[in-house]
Amino acid sequence: MRTKKISSSNILQDTHTRLLNLPRAFREAICAECGWSEATFFTGRQKARTPLAMPRKIK
């Protein structure tokens, strides 16, 4: 992943912009590395969200 040079003197705005773009960059990197389409990426995420077993109550 390439990092861009800070274009303005407003560091907070640049940080905010980079954080907003982080999920898209992550998704694109995973899809490129694994050879997945975006649909496959999102399907895999839904399958990974299976509910956890309910913890047992202590009596």
Structure confidence at residue 16 (pLDDT): 93
* Per-domain boundaries in the chain: 11-44
Query: pLDDT (tens digit, 9 = 90+) per residue, 12-53?
Result: 999 999 999 999 999 999 889 988 888 888 886 666 665 555
Q: What residue has token string 């990092």? A: 3
Query: pLDDT (tens digit, 9 = 90+) per residue, 12-22?
Result: 999 999 999 99
